[in-house]
Amino acid sequence: MVVKKKRVEVTTTGKKMREEATAYNKAVLTEEKRILGLLAPIETHLDTEENKITEEKERIKGLEVAAKEAITQARANRLLELGCNFDRIVFSYKTFSIPESIMATMEDEGFEIIYREVAAMVREEEERQAAEKEAQDAEKKRMAQEKHEQEKEKKRLEEEKILLANAKAKVEADQEAERKRLADEKASLEVEKRALQKAKG
Residues 91-138: tens digit of each pLDDT: 999 888 999 999 989 999 999 999 999 999 999 999 999 999 999 999
The arithmetic mean of pLDDT across residues 9-24, rounded, is 91
Percent of the chain with pLDDT over 90: 82
The angle at the Cα of 120, spanning 114 to 121, to the nearest 5 degrees, equals 90
181 within some domain: no
90 within some domain: yes
Q: Which residues, at least 6 apart from 98, have a Cβ–Cβ distance to it below 8 Å?
A: 90, 91, 92, 114
77 within some domain: yes
Digit-coded pLDDT (tens) for 31-64: 999 999 999 999 999 999 999 999 999 999 999 9
- Please report the pLDDT score of residue 74 as a whole number: 94
With a cut of 70, say whether residue 16 has pLDDT above it: yes
The arithmetic mean of pLDDT across residues 2-8, rounded, is 89
49 within some domain: yes
Q: How far is CA 151 from CA 114, 139, 141, in A?
A: 55, 18, 15
**β-strand 85-86 against 90-93: which pairing, if any?**
antiparallel
Range of the domain at 90: 2-106
* Whole-angstrom distance, CA of residue 98 vs CA of residue 94: 12
60 within some domain: yes
With a cut of 80, say whether residue 6 has pLDDT above it: yes
* Whole-angstrom distance, CA of residue 4 vs CA of residue 111: 99
Q: How confident is the model at residue 195 (pLDDT cuts 50, 70, 90)?
A: confident
Closest-CA residue to 98 (of 109, 110, 160, 135)? 110
CA dihedral 106, 109, 114, 118 (to 10 degrees): 130
Q: Count how many domains the chain has.
A: 1
Q: How far is CA 48 from CA 36, 44, 56, 59, 153, in A?
A: 18, 6, 12, 16, 99
Q: How confident is the model at residue 201 (pLDDT cuts 50, 70, 90)?
A: low
138 within some domain: no
